[in-house]
C-alpha cells in the first residue's frame, strides 16, 4: 500500500558539501556519497518515501530511498509533504498520456520514460490495450499495485504486464520475475503499426518490453533513403530498419541478427505487409556476417547497423568505442558508391562526440570518404531529462559514402 501522509515521515539529509543547488534546479538523483548515511538512514527499507533536507535550509522535496543502491535517493516531488499514492501516480500518468496523444494517432508508443516523465526508474510501453511496465527502481516495485491501478484508470488498458529484465533492477536489489498485473497475457505476438510497416512484438518472451519504439524517427529517415534500394539491416531485432525500408518501397532488404526468434518475428511482419518476396533474413554473429558479405563482394545501397549497447557503463567506454569503430570499418565497404551508411548507439556512456569520432575513424580505416548528412536521436515519446544525460542515450549517424 502507498505510504500514508504522516508527520513522522523519514528524513534524510545531504552532506554539507553536496551540491544541493543541482537538486534545487532539477537534478533527479542523490548518490550515496552525497548523503549523510547514519544508522537510521541505512536501516530504511528499499523504496521508502522520505523527505530530503539540506542542513539549515528549507526541505528540498520528497524522495524515494534505497540504501542498497548507489543512487540512494530519487526525487519524486519538490513538495516535501507530497503524498505518493495512486492519485499522485495517476496525475503523472495523465501528463505523460497527454503528450503522447499529441504525438500519435494510434496507442503504440513509450508512455513513460522514467525520470523525464517524473516517474524515476519506471518504463511503460503501450501496445494498444496492453501496457508493459518495467519498474526499475525499488519505490516503483513497492507501489506496483497502485501504479498498475493508476495506469488502468488513466489509459483504459485491459492488460498490464510486468517485465523484470535488465541490469537496472539488479542494481536496485530487485528480482527478475515477470508477472501479469492485470488481465491475461497475449497468446501470440502483437502486431504494431509504425512508419507504414507492421512489427510483431513478443510481449512475454522478447527483448525488453517487446519492441524498440525509440528508433521510430530514425527508421523513418532511413526509409526515405531506401526507396527502390537494396538494404542491409544489421542487428535487426524484429526488422526495425528493414521493414520500414520495405514499407517505403525498397527493392529488397536483408535482416541480420543473432536471434532466430527475433528474425522469425521479422519474417512474420514482412508477411503481414505482403513484402515477404522482397525480404531475406540471415542468422549469425554480425561481425562475422559483415566480413563474409565483404568476402563475397556484395554491396547495398543502404546499410544500417543498430547494435546493442557496446558501452553500457563508463568502465566499458573504451572497449565499446573500439567496437563501434570496428563495426563502421566492416560495414563501410558494403555500401555501394554514393550509398548510405547508418550507425547507431544506445550506449549512454558514449557521448555523441565520442561515438561520432569512433564511427568516422572506422569509415576512414575502410578507405571510404564520407559526408555526415543527418544526426538522429530517440523519438519525442522518449523525452530527455535536461539534467540527466542517461535519458538521452540513443544516437544515430547517417553518412553518404562518396563514389
Residue with cell 492519485: 87
Here the contacts of 311-318 (C-beta below 8 Å, separation 24 or greater) are 311/345, 311/347, 311/349, 311/350, 312/167, 312/347, 312/348, 312/349, 313/349, 314/349, 316/347, 316/349, 317/347, 317/349, 317/350, 317/354
The count of other CB atoms within 10 Å of the CB of residue 142 is 22
Task: Report the sign of the C-alpha dihedral through residues 180, 381, 165, 170, in that order.
Answer: negative
User: Which one of the listed residues 232, 346, 384, 394 is annotated catalytic?
Assistant: 346
Give exposure, 378-401, as e/b (b: 16+ Cβ within 10 Å). Answer: bbbbbbbbeebeebbbbbbbbbbb
Strand pairing category for 159-162 and 130-135: parallel
- For the question of residue 305 being annotated catalytic, the response is no
Q: Which three cell numbers stand for residue 144?
A: 506496483
| R_g (Cα) of the chain, nearest Å | 23
Catalytic positions? 346
Amino acid at each position: 500500500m502507498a505510504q500514508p501522509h504522516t508527520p513522522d515521515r523519514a528524513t534524510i539529509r545531504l552532506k554539507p558539501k553536496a551540491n544541493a543547488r543541482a537538486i534545487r534546479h532539477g537534478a533527479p538523483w542523490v548518490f550515496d556519497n552525497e548523503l549523510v548515511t547514519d544508522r537510521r538512514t541505512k536501516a530504511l527499507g528499499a523504496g521508502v518515501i522520505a523527505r530530503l533536507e539540506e542542513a539549515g535550509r528549507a526541505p528540498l522535496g520528497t524522495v524515494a530511498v534505497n540504501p542498497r543502491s548507489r543512487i540512494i535517493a530519487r526525487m519524486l516531488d519538490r513538495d516535501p509533504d507530497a503524498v505518493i499514492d495512486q492519485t499522485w501516480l495517476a496525475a503523472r500518468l495523465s501528463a505523460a498520456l497527454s503528450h503522447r496523444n499529441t504525438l500519435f494517432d494510434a496507442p503504440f508508443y513509450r508512455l513513460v520514460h522514467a525520470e523525464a516523465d517524473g516517474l524515476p526508474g519506471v518504463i511503460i510501453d503501450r501496445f494498444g490495450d496492453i501496457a508493459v511496465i518495467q519498474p526499475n527502481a525499488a519505490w516503483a516495485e513497492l507501489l506496483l499495485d497502485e501504479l498498475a491501478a493508476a495506469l488502468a484508470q488513466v489509459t483504459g488498458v485491459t492488460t498490464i504486464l510486468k517485465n523484470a529484465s535488465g541490469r537496472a533492477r539488479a542494481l536496485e536489489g530487485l528480482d527478475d520475475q515477470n508477472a501479469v498485473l492485470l488481465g491475461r497475457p497475449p497468446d501470440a505476438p502483437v502486431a504494431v503499426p509504425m512508419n507504414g510497416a507492421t512489427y510483431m512484438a513478443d510481449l512475454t518472451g522478447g527483448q525488453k518490453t517487446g519492441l524498440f519504439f525509440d528508433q521510430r524517427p530514425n527508421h523513418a529517415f532511413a526509409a526515405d533513403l531506401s526507396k527502390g534500394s537494396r538494404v542491409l539491416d544489421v542487428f535487426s531485432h524484429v526488422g526495425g530498419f528493414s521493414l520500414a525500408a520495405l514499407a517505403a518501397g525498397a527493392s529488397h532488404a536483408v535482416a541480420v541478427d543473432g536471434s532466430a526468434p527475433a528474425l522469425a518475428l521479422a519474417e512474420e511482419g514482412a508477411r503481414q505487409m505482403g513484402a515477404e518476396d522482397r525480404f531475406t533474413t540471415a542468422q549469425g554473429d554480425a561481425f562475422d556476417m559483415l566480413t563474409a558479405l565483404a568476402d563475397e563482394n556484395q554491396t547495398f545501397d543502404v546499410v544500417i547497423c543498430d547494435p546493442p549497447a557496446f558501452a553500457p557503463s563508463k568502465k566499458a567506454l573504451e572497449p565499446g568505442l573500439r567496437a563501434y569503430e570496428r563495426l563502421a570499418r566492416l560495414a563501410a565497404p558494403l555500401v555501394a558508391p554514393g550509398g548510405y551508411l547508418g550507425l547507431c548507439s544506445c550506449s549512454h556512456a558514449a557521448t555523441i562526440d565520442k561515438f561520432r569520432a569512433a564511427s568516422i575513424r572506422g569509415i576512414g580505416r575502410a578507405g571510404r570518404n564520407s559526408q555526415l548528412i543527418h544526426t538522429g536521436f530517440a523519438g519525442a515519446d522518449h523525452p530527455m531529462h535536461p539534467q540527466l544525460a542517461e535519458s538521452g542515450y540513443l544516437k544515430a549517424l547517417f553518412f553518404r559514402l562518396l563514389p
